[in-house]
Amino acid sequence: MSAHPGLSAQYHQVTTDGERTAERFEFWRSTCLKLVEPTGPPDGGYDRFRARSQRLAGSVGSFIDNSVTPMEVQRTQRLCARDGIDDLAISLEVGTGGVGWVGNNDNSVIFAPGELHLLDFAQPLRAHWNDGNHRGLLLTLPRASVLAALGRRSRDVKGVVLPRGGIAPLLASQMRVLADLLTGMNVTTRAVALQATIDLAVSVLCLELGPAKGESDECEDGMFAAALCFINRNFGSDRLSPEIIAARLGCSRAHLYRLFARRDLTVAGYIREVRLQRCRVALESGAASRSTIGDIAFRCGFTNPTHFTRLFTQRFGVRPREARMAAAARR
């Protein structure tokens, strides 16, 4: 942890697999249902209940990945008063084949796969998912961090659906990737990944719901994380440029340059490094053995083979063909 002395996060994984059928629901209820409580038996009854959860909790927020049998839960006024939790959460439904709802009798919001919703855990709510393959991701943030981005408006965000444009899709993608890779991460990587996801979330809230602060200091870490996400998702496009990245993030090109310069990086240099690293991985992978070096370079965003060979040799000390041959000899 020496490289990131200020970051730490605790990881826990729970599954009902291996538990006796009659005890699965109570086991899940006692270990994982801390913020809410069930209103009754799960859909299909106790015998068919299944659940899996992983949670990453840090000092500045937490991330939860739940896969569970369809059921209805509630967070009552009594529960809110008892635990005193004052967090806002961004929820992402990643299940298929169904939707659910959250709210109360006067204010209900439909959950649909791929949508980012804001929840307020300081207030009562009820939720029900009718998806047989329900999987939900939840990123919780202390209200204070959201206040810094949104000011007084943070008290009126319950049930807000974040737009599918702008940088919100980058947050949805980041949450999915984090959930899928958590198990294989080490302690340090988990803490860094959680912080990066929270930074990105605060920037999304700031840009989508707050005042026009796209180039303010409050959003800097999240904007930088969003830029890295966008580059890593689009490195193969030969049209990727600072202008394209800045437009997607809603900031000026000059501000984008400043974000990287403050970290002793350049936009072009980071793009080049990502592309070269992806090329190296592909060249050393047996799965890409039938692809030509030119094809691999093109898929990674290099349109000039001669230029690619020169950059690759300068970066790694060997020519692309030599890297491929050495990897084949090791296999």
Of 42-51, 204-213, 249-258, the one with minimum mean pLDDT is 204-213
201 pLDDT above the threshold of 80 = yes
The average pLDDT across 107-127 equals: 81
**Structural element, H or E, at residue 316:** helix 305-316
Please compute, for residue 33, the number of CA atoms within 13 A of its CA located in the half-sphere on the CB side.
Answer: 19
Residue 260: the pLDDT is 94
Of 52-56, 130-134, 266-270, the one with minimum mean pLDDT is 130-134
127 pLDDT above the threshold of 80 = yes
Q: What is d(CA 16, CA 61) in angstroms, rounded to the nearest whole number?
A: 25
Residue 181: the pLDDT is 94
How is the chain split into domains, by residue range?
A: 9-265, 270-330
**Which of 75-79, 130-134, 265-269 is most confident?**
265-269
205 pLDDT above the threshold of 90 = no
What band does 93 get if pLDDT is binned at 50, 70 and 90? Answer: confident
Residue 2: the pLDDT is 35
Contact call for residues 263 and 203 (beta carbons, < 8 A):
no
Q: What is d(CA 279, CA 237) in angstroms, rounded to the nearest whole number?
A: 14
Helix, strand or coil for residue 157? coil
The average pLDDT across 293-313 equals: 94
129 pLDDT above the threshold of 80 = no
Report percent pLDDT > 70 for the chain.
85
Residue 1: the pLDDT is 32
Of the two residues 207 and 103, the one the predictor is more confident about is 207
Of 61-70, 116-125, 219-228, the one with minimum mean pLDDT is 219-228
Q: Report helix angle 187-209 to 143-150, nearest 10.
A: 40
Q: What is d(CA 51, CA 125) in angstroms, rounded to the nearest whole number?
A: 21
- Report the side by side order of strands in the sheet with 108-111: 37-38, 72-75, 125-129, 100-103, 108-111
The CATH superfamily label for domain 9-265 reads Jelly Rolls (2.60.120.10)
The average pLDDT across 267-282 equals: 95
318 pLDDT above the threshold of 90 = yes
Mean pLDDT of all residues belonging to the chain? 85
Q: What is d(CA 183, CA 16) in angstroms, rounded to the nearest whole number?
A: 17
Which pTM value belongs to this model?
0.73
**Which of 215-219, 307-311, 326-330 is most confident?**
307-311
Q: Report helix angle 320-330 to 267-283, nearest 10.
A: 40
Helix, strand or coil for residue 90? strand
For the segment(s) 270-330, the CATH number from 3.40.50.450, 1.10.10.60, 1.50.10.20, 3.30.465.10 is: 1.10.10.60
Of 26-40, 119-133, 233-247, 290-304, the one with minimum mean pLDDT is 119-133
